[in-house]
Amino acid sequence: MADTVSIPADVADAFTDAWCTTVITSDVAASLGCTEVDALADMLRALGAEQAADEWTDAHAQDDEPNDRHFRGTVPADASLASDGMRWSPDPADAQDG
């Protein structure tokens, strides 16, 4: 999408005020899917709320599973992540899936 939209400043301010609080981030981020948190983070970044966008992604990542896009934990070498018995291995492509 190359089109640009105009958002009134008061609407943008109200949006960031509503979504840039520690309480709502910690309460909601884990319940969002990866695509949802990415969309919210992208919107916050577009509105200039870089730190809040990072906080949403970080809070969401804390509850991600090993095969989720934002997972940052450690997976035991013998952990099976698929029904066919495939094993997880750290690969840059893993960060893109989910």
Q: Residue 77: its pLDDT value, please? A: 62
Q: What is the pLDDT of residues 47-92, one digit of tens each?
A: 999 999 988 988 877 765 555 655 565 555 665 555 444 444 555 5
80 DSSP β-pair partners: 87
pTM value is: 0.65
87 DSSP β-pair partners: 80
Helix extents (H) in 33-90: 34-46, 50-61
What distance in Å separates the CA atoms of residue 26 and residue 43, rounded to the nearest whole number?
A: 18
Helices (H) and strands (E) in the chain, counts: 4, 0
56 near 37, Cβ under 8 Å? yes
